[in-house]
């Protein structure tokens, strides 16, 4: 697995540098929905990553955000978000990342998240711990939710669907010290793993949003479930991840909000 780690780190670093150098360019923006966008940088980063994987590991499967990917029936599958934080990126807001995970027989065994603007490389190997720039990291020790710093995000159908996280945000804001909405779920999860955030929840995520981050959190000593404490899977659209110490409190608050909704 070590050679996969070195390959993925190099690939994430290369794609991250590519994106960083082009952050302030004028971007070509296409719309996948009313506010769900994709830029030429997403596609170019994805092409860079997938072509190099295919060259080195031609029989591996690939799941990625902006294209159909590759399904060879391999036990190994790469799960890629070539640019998480596209809306930020399109506006020149320097909060985004590259996320690359490797799954073996349905189990994520390697996760890499590169934040090129801060030169941060988050890496986790299953059973080997979580690291930031080769230094081992762990989740925070916060036990009181009223002193916690949380992170979340909102789905792209926020204008059209009432299941848009606004009620959860409102309720959680009354219980936490503060909440941040930075615009990159993968980066939020990496920050839970290294203790910057105490907890994170979000609705309607995809496997490329959560694959690498979920392993980072688990390997850093955190807990990840679905929104109400059920088993987390990559096809779980609603995610709750914490340092473990405030997990029950967050589940309780989310359930209370849900029960009070009409």
Question: What is the structure's pLDDT at 33?
Answer: 60
Q: How many CA atoms lie within 13 A of 241 on its CB side?
A: 40
Cβ-Cβ contacts under 8 Å for 207 (sequence gap 6 or more): 63, 79, 234, 235
Mean pLDDT per 10-residue segment, the chain (262 residues):
95 98 87 72 94 96 89 96 96 97 97 98 98 98 98 85 88 97 97 98 96 98 97 93 98 93 70
Question: What is the structure's pLDDT at 38?
Answer: 82
Question: What is the structure's pLDDT at 32?
Answer: 67
For 43-75, the DSSP string reads: HHHHHHHHHHHHHH-TTSEEEESSS--B----S
* Joined tokens for residue 140: 């925070």
Does the domain at 145-260 match CATH 3.40.50.620? Answer given as no
Question: What is the structure's pLDDT at 35?
Answer: 58
Q: How many CA atoms lie within 13 A of 143 on its CB side?
A: 0
Sheet with 223-225, edge to edge strand ranges: 178-180, 149-152, 199-202, 239-242, 223-225
Any idea where the domains of the chain sit in the sequence? 2-137, 145-260
Question: What is the structure's pLDDT at 16?
Answer: 98
Question: What is the structure's pLDDT at 247?
Answer: 98
Architecture of domain 2-137: 2-Layer Sandwich (3.30)
Question: What is the structure's pLDDT at 249?
Answer: 98
Question: What is the structure's pLDDT at 104?
Answer: 98
Question: What is the structure's pLDDT at 28?
Answer: 83
């Amino acid at each position: 697995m070590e050679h996969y780690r070195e390959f993925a780190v190099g690939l994430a670093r290369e794609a991250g540098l590519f994106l960083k150098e082009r952050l302030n360019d004028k971007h070509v923006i296409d719309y996948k929905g009313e506010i769900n966008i994709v830029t030429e940088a997403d596609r170019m980063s994805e092409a860079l990553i997938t072509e190099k994987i295919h060259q080195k590991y031609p029989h591996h499967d690939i799941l990625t955000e902006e294209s159909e990917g590759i399904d060879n029936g391999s036990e190994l599958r790469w799960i890629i978000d070539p640019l998480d934080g596209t809306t930020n990126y399109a506006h020149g807001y320097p909060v985004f990342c590259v996320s690359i995970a490797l799954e073996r027989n349905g189990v994520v065994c390697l996760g890499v998240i590169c934040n090129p603007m801060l030169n941060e490389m988050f890496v986790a190997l299953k059973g080997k711990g979580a690291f930031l720039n080769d230094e081992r990291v762990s989740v925070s020790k916060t036990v009181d939710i009223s002193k916690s710093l949380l992170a979340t995000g909102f789905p792209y159908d926020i204008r059209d669907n009432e299941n848009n996280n606004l009620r959860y945000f409102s309720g959680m804001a009354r219980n936490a010290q503060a909440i941040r909405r930075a615009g990159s779920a993968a980066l939020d999860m990496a920050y839970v793993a290294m203790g910057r955030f105490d907890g994170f929840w979000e609705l309607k995520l995809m496997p490329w949003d959560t694959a690498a981050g979920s392993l980072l959190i688990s390997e850093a000593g955190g807990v990840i479930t679905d929104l109400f404490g059920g088993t987390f899977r990559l096809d779980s659209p609603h995610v709750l991840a914490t340092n473990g110490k405030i997990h029950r409190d967050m589940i309780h608050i989310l359930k209370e909000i849900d029960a009070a909704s009409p």
